[in-house]
Chains A and B, each alone.
Chain A
């Protein structure tokens, strides 16, 4: 099993450009998440999808959109990139059975490093 995969690994954008970050998991997990990590800030939740067909905002959703394409795939779209979106983006997934906490079973992808000029 590959676990959680993310593409691309690196990306440079100009202000105003758009792009989609792709994430896929092969562990048959129900829940998927997008985080960003900035120096000194820790990981912050952008959006999450508790199950196929549902998405919800996290702590910092402005400037982003998501699509839960199917159970395996959860994409993150930047419609008009801004320098403030320069960050490392991590996708994660978890089994999230009813009554089960998210942290114990959350698996992260290798990350996408994004630079917006």
Chain B
């Protein structure tokens, strides 16, 4: 079983739609969680951290469910520019230097 699992998609949604991705992790002792965004043939960039209490940044909301060991990303009012691959990232308890990446969920927002 992979340490971090994501549905590869693609999720194909119209502009203005609300879309949500989940990511499951296997190590219950994981300490930190993040969502990164990666555009086609570009480097990953940090989108947002995921806190236990949930956090929101504009149209983006991230949630953590430790009991069920998953994190989620909700995008409201999708824009064409949201089309990208979204990478779930987990930092294990035993090392704050190592990031464990999911293989990503691809989002396509159509006009």
Which residues on A are within 8 Å of B, measured CB to CB?
Answer: 31, 33, 35, 40-45, 48, 50, 56, 58-59, 90, 96, 100-104, 106, 108-111
Contacts and interface: CB of A to CB of B under 8 A. Distances in A.
A45 B43 CA distance: 15
Given A101-B91, A102-B96, A103-B49, A43 B44 contact: yes
Contacts of B89: 103
Given A90-B43, A103-B34, A43 B87 contact: yes
A41 B103 contact: yes
Interface residues of B, number: 22
A56 B46 CA distance: 24
A111 B45 CA distance: 13
Most buried by B among A41, A48, A101: A101
B46 A50 contact: no
Contacts, number: 60
A102 B96 CA distance: 6
Interface of B: 4, 8, 31-32, 34, 42-46, 49, 87, 89, 91, 96-99, 101-104
Contacts of B49: 103-104
B98 A58 contact: yes
Nearest to A88: B41
A82 B49 CA distance: 37
Contacts of A42: 4, 87, 101-104
18 contacts: A35-B101, A40-B103, A41-B103, A42-B87, A42-B103, A43-B101, A45-B98, A56-B97, A101-B31, A101-B91, A101-B96, A102-B96, A103-B89, A104-B34, A104-B46, A110-B43, A111-B42, A111-B43
